[in-house]
Structure 1
Amino acid sequence: MTTADKTGDRSLFGNPWIFIRGVPSMKFLPPEGPLEVAFAGRSNVGKSSLINALVGQKGLARTSNTPGRTQELNYFVPDGYSGEGDDLPPMAIVDMPGYGYAQAPKEQVDAWTKLVFDYLRGRATLRRVYVLIDSRHGIKKNDEEVLSLLDKAAVSYQIVLTKTDKIKAPAVPKLLAETADKIKKRPAAYPEILATSSEKAEGLDALRYAIATTVGKPA
């Protein structure tokens, strides 16, 4: 590996990404090293599809039509780094367990909630959480609860609207404005709202730029 590679000249999203581990509890977290951004959202909001579209790999994050499939913190990093010494990845993406699946057993929901809160509260390398909101439904009650949790944990977060191809194009600007108005008094919310469609590959460059800016790396 060249010195230029180690200093972060490689594009964050120009090389393949790999799955490194699933974390069912805090004791399995990888050692703190690269900066992290996490993706949160209701079950079936399209987290896995968006992560796959973001890195240009269809099978990286597992997608499923079954709500509640992601039950761990799933870690992804760009390929080609040893993870030791100076050869750390430039960043890591964390796919968080989906929330709001009504049919999940209470014990499972409680375990997810504890894992997520412990992670948010105790991970010094976490730079931002991207909270995904389905454009067809907007911010719902369980989304509000998660936003309040993030505010309480003092973790910076940014709203990302998903599936914008499923609503009429003129409705998108209105939804962006309404969503921005709903979060304007929340202390940990980043004010800019992003609109995306994994299926149509819309808004992905803006999201890549937002992530790269957050972690201080070239996109």
Structure 2
Amino acid sequence: MGPDEWASALETGRKLFAGPCDFVAAVPTIDRLPPITLTEVAFAGRSNVGKSSLVNALTGRNTLARTSNTPGRTQQLNFFLLAEKLLLVDMPGYGYAEVPKTEAARWANVIDLYLRGRSTLRRVCLLIDARHGVKKNDLDSMDWLDQRAVPYQIIMTKSDKLKQKDRDDLLKATSDVTRRRPAAHPEIIVTSAETGEGIATLRAVLGQFAVG
């Protein structure tokens, strides 16, 4: 993408995410999914990785998606309608050991069915906490997405917590992990909900999926 095209994408993303964004549904079971209409982008990752904070930062709203310091707080698929053009899906986090096994299994089943069967899902933003890097359950998620050909892109969160050298090392290590993965997008976006780093870039990337 050339400079003019990228500038246009940035402006399109800015306008899209400046538009109205409304809560649509909290889906605890697969039979409660909203009708398939608009393109969808989902946000996945470990518990407490910052999914809800990132959704709030993207939309410029502090309380759109509920945030908490308690891992495992998001226990449903939460759908948000952005400017009547795109659906954002905040998914339950994975990897939190304190959640009862039966509940974790139920979440996993709902997520599995959603990701495999949602024809309008265009991309999964797989969030990785920059302080910790890629963990085993992140690799398991990548394996699952690769095997089912579900497109995903790595989004690093909480970048403000790292020094520059640590960031460079993290990016290299993460790129090494994703380089040969068939469903992974090659670009890794580094973000911070606190400082706003990478937010405009991610808006531009996701804006290409908006309808109309």
For normalisation by structure 2, the TM-score amounts to 0.91
Segments of 5+ residues of structure 1 without an aligned counterpart are 1-7, 80-88
Query: Which of 52, 63, 66 in structure 2 is aligned with 1:48?
Result: 52
Deviation at 1:179, TM superposition (A): 0.6
Deviations, residues 167-211 of structure 1 (Å, cap 9, x unaligned): 112322321122111111111000110000001111101111111
Count of aligned positions: 201
User: Are the counterparts in 1 of residues 14 and 204 from structure 2 also a CA contact under 8 Å?
Assistant: no
1 CA distance for matches of 2:99 and 2:148?
Answer: 25
Q: Which amino acid aligns with 1:40?
A: A
User: Alpha carbons of 1:135 and 1:52: their partners in 2 closer, same or farther (altered >3 Å)?
Assistant: same
Name the structure 2 match of 1:106: 101
Cα distance change of structure 1 residues 104 and 209 upon mapping to structure 2, 3 Å threshold? same
Report what 1:186 is aligned to.
181
**5 Å matches for 1:1-219?**
11-78=15-82, 89-213=84-208, 215=209
What is the identity, as a one-letter code, of the residue corresponding to 1:140? K
Moved over 4 A (4+): none
In 1, Cα distance between equivalents of 2:14 and 2:123: 21
What is the rounded CA distance, in whole Å, between the counterparts of 2:58 and 2:155 in structure 1? 13
Q: Secondary structure of 2:108's match?
A: helix
- Structure 2 unmatched runs, 5+: 1-11
* Structure whose residues are more often helix by fraction: 2
Q: 1:93 to 1:9 in 2, by over 3 A?
A: closer
Whether the 8 Å contact between 1:16 and 1:57 is mirrored in structure 2 is no
Secondary structure of 1:38's match?
strand
Higher relative contact order (Cα pairs below 8 Å, separated by 6+ residues):
2
Q: What CA distance in whole angstroms lies between the structure 1 residues aligned with 2:91 and 2:124? A: 10
Distance 1:94 1:216 in 2: 14
Identity %: 53
| Shift in CA distance, 114/9, structure 1 to aligned 2, threshold 3 Å | closer
TM-score, normalised by the number of residues in structure 1: 0.88
Counterparts in 2 of 1:206 and 1:28: CA distance versus 1, 3 Å: same
Question: Given the superposition, is the C-alpha separation of residues 168 and 146 from structure 1 closer, same or farther in structure 2, using an over 3 Å criterion?
Answer: same
Retained in 2: the 8 A contact 1:12–1:217?
Answer: no
Asked if the contact 1:43–1:67 (Cα under 8 Å) also holds between the matched residues in 2, the reply is yes
